[in-house]
Chains A and B, each alone.
Chain A
Amino acid sequence: MTALEVDDIQGNVLRGYGFPFARYVLARVRDGRADAARGWLASQADPVTTEAGWSTKPLHARNVAVSYAGLEAVGVPGWLASTFPDEFRAGMAARAERLGDAGAGAPERWDDGLRRGDIHVLVSIGGATEAAVAAEAERVEAEMADGGLEPGVVQAAAQPSDSREHFGFTDGFGQPAIAGVARHGVPGQGVPIRRRPWHRFRADVVPSRADRRLGWRALRPGEFVLGYADEDGGPPPAPAPPLHRNGTFMVWRKLRQDVAGFRRFVADAAVETGLDPSLVGAKVVGRWQDGSPLVLRPDYGDARLGNDRQRVNDFAYAGDSAGLRCPRGAHIRRANPRDALRAGGGKLTARHRILRRGMPYGPPLPHGAEDDGVDRGLVFVSFQASIERQFEIVQARWLNDGDAFGLARTADPLAGAVGEHGARLRLGGRPPRYATAMHAFVVPRGGEYLFVPGIAGLRAFATL
């Protein structure tokens, strides 16, 4: 397998930085300043952080992405721009029907500065302290102003020390295992292997004895970074040189969370079903708040399991096809079905994995408090080699639709597009219980599809 060119791949893609604070600086190219902006992009090849390992973790890190509107605005030639995939060229707002961004989440209602065409360049800053990211963001804004760009929205985000998102669930630790990336041997992060005696002779199915023992094999890096073999056996489709290698595609999406509404729904559903509220919440998500998965702990949470990175993701759904332990429509089961798809099992899931690097934003809502009108939620960030194949299919076919799980058109109320008839949760059991969420608890407020060039790709902007 080709070694990953870590010095040429921007950081936070293959391995998360793990910083607790972030700032996202969004900017547009000023009219008539295409050359300056292109030069600025090229100049970012030096300050951006790469996937190369650290001897000492820096105080902050910077990475740069550009939208198709941004590529056009900086004057990337048409012959190169046309080699980018259709969904990236269209932009996120144009994909609203596919993504289910309607009603309150429709692009026309997105926040100022996050609408169609607002985001040309996005600089992601991660840091160890609030002050570090704020200072770096100020530096970036100043550089942008000199470099033909007009800074717009600056979105702050922060990851609490307990790794919980606003609904109260630990998040962010279920990520794809990627071959060639350190720590890919964590059970449950890759492709499930159904072990057969003849697999010792099939290196393409089970690359190693270690993988056979693990029961999982890592995904091929081409699923996430351009220029490497993917699960189909070759490098994924990529733009033309010089942007063809070591880049990736980014989905950046601001998602507002209705925390009070979610808590109210869980409480109401608990009364309606006779189940404990913590169990109802766990059945919506697929994990207890401590992170332990329902399929391993169907009756009560287990904080020790939740904190055990070697065991917390080591599960599949084959033994729970009816959804009696973890409902078939639970959020994590939809977002990463592992072997749970009715047809094809793990073989199809492997082609629709995403790397998630987002973070919560906004202050927490205290327990028991009514909705205070404060904007809070998740800055959703994902990386994948194909936005259409990976992000869009997960969102459109698995979160917005339940047919892959035998649930007809039912959406995931946590992260799917809930229609006017609501989303009925099937809380499997003997007997089963049901609760209907009449609206989505997560609503998109804006975002964009972006390209994250490799380092050489960034430099190449100077001569395009």
Chain B
Amino acid sequence: MAPTPLTVLTPVPLWWSLWVRFTWLAAAVTGGLVQKRLRGLSFIHFAHWSLVARWPRDPAVSADEAAPRTLVFLTNFDGSDIQYIDAFVRVVPDQIEALYGGARGFPGPFRFRPVAKYIADHSHAVDHFYAAHPDATTTAVAQALELRRRFDDFERRMAGADDATFAREWEQFLTAAQDLV
């Protein structure tokens, strides 16, 4: 089955948008620890957050009717959103709280049903989406790239090796890399 796309727009107050920017900066500084955790949620193909501080100006709309600051969440994943929301609620609730805690109407990250309703209420149909590798989740891609790295190193080391050395080293390589193959 093709992956499922999701777009969620969440209004946030100014003070929360400043906090969110700070957390992103912190995540960048901590060298991708949070991304690694999220990448481990195996059914995700990608996930992407942006902050709209100011929507494109519309002169026909007055300032108090204009769209508020909004957290934009874009993602593709396998299957239904049940596993996604379950993962938010049961595996990474603290990270979700850090992103959405101050968002308008957010019910808190600890119960599935209120979060599922919040997402449903703030979702927007995706008219067209594309994935170069629709079968590949973040886990699968990360594993394949790591395997490639180790394989290239193995291949380089084995240039010119005799049969016995190659066989021994191949067995060691395969044993060490078996969780990637």
Name A's B-contacting residues (CB within 8 A).
97-98, 232-234, 237, 321-323, 328, 341-344, 347-348, 351, 388-389, 393, 396-397, 401, 403-404, 406, 408-409, 426, 428-432
B82 partner, pick from A347, A388, A409, beta carbons under 8 A: A388
The 0/1 profile, CB within 8 Å of A marked 1, for residues 13-54 of chain B is: 000000000000000000000000100111100000000000
Q: What's the least CB distance linking B158 to chain A, in Å?
A: 16
CB distance from B120 to the nearest CB of A (A): 13
A343 touches B175 (CB 8 A): no
B139, A403: Cβ atoms closer than 8 Å: yes
How many residues of B are counted as interface, with CB atoms below 8 angstroms from the partner's CB atoms? 32
| Least CB distance, A87 to chain B, in whole angstroms | 9
The smallest beta-carbon distance between A408 and chain B, in angstroms, is 5
Query: In the complex, which residues of chain B have a beta carbon less than 8 angstroms from the beta carbon of A406?
Result: 42, 139, 143, 179-180
B91-A431 in contact (CB<8A): no
What are the nearest 6 A-B pairs in CB distance?
Answer: A344-B91, A343-B40, A432-B178, A347-B90, A232-B112, A403-B42
Is the beta-carbon distance between B82 and A348 smaller than 8 angstroms? no
Contact with A along B168-181 (1 / 0, CB 8 A): 00010011001111
**Contacts from B to A (Cβ < 8 Å):** 1, 37, 40-43, 78-80, 82-83, 86-87, 89-91, 111-113, 135-137, 139-140, 143, 171, 174-175, 178-181
Cα–Cα distance between A96 and B178 once the two chains are bound (Å): 33
B91 touches A343 (CB 8 A): yes
Report chain B residues within 8 Å CB of A404. 42-43
Cα A328 to Cα B89 in complex, Å, equals: 25
Q: Residue A432 contacts which of B1, B89, B174 (CB distance < 8 angstroms)?
A: B174
Measured between beta carbons, the chain B residues less than 8 angstroms from A430 are: 175
Q: Which residues of A contact B40 (CB under 8 A)?
A: 342-343
A430 to B179, CA, bound (A): 12
Q: Give A397 to B4 CA distance when docked, in angstroms.
A: 14
Residues of chain B lying within 8 A (CB to CB) of residue A388: 80, 82
Contact assessment for B90 and A403 in the assembled complex, using a CB-CB cutoff below 8 Å: no
28 contacts between A and B (CB under 8 A): A97-B1, A232-B89, A232-B113, A321-B179, A322-B178, A328-B179, A341-B42, A343-B41, A343-B42, A344-B41, A344-B91, A347-B91, A348-B90, A351-B90, A351-B112, A388-B80, A393-B80, A393-B83, A397-B78, A397-B83, A403-B78, A403-B137, A406-B42, A406-B143, A406-B179, A408-B136, A426-B178, A431-B178
CB distance from B77 to the nearest CB of A (A): 11
Residues of A within 8 A of B90 (CB): 344, 347-348, 351
B86 A237 Cβ-Cβ under 8 A: no
Q: Which of A237, A321, A401 counts the most B-chain CB atoms under 10 A from its CB?
A: A401
Contact A232 B111 (CB under 8 A): yes
- Alpha-carbon separation in the docked complex, A347 to B88 (Å): 11
- Residues from chain A with Cβ under 8 Å of B79 in the complex: 98, 393, 396-397
CB contacts (< 8 Å) of B139 on chain A: these are 342, 403, 406
Check A234–B171 contact: CB distance below 8 A: no
Interface centre among B87, B113, B178 (most CB of A within 10 A): B178
Docked CA distance A408–B140 (Å): 6
Closest CB-CB distance, B180 to chain A, in whole Å? 8
- For B138, give the chain A residue with the smallest CB separation: A403
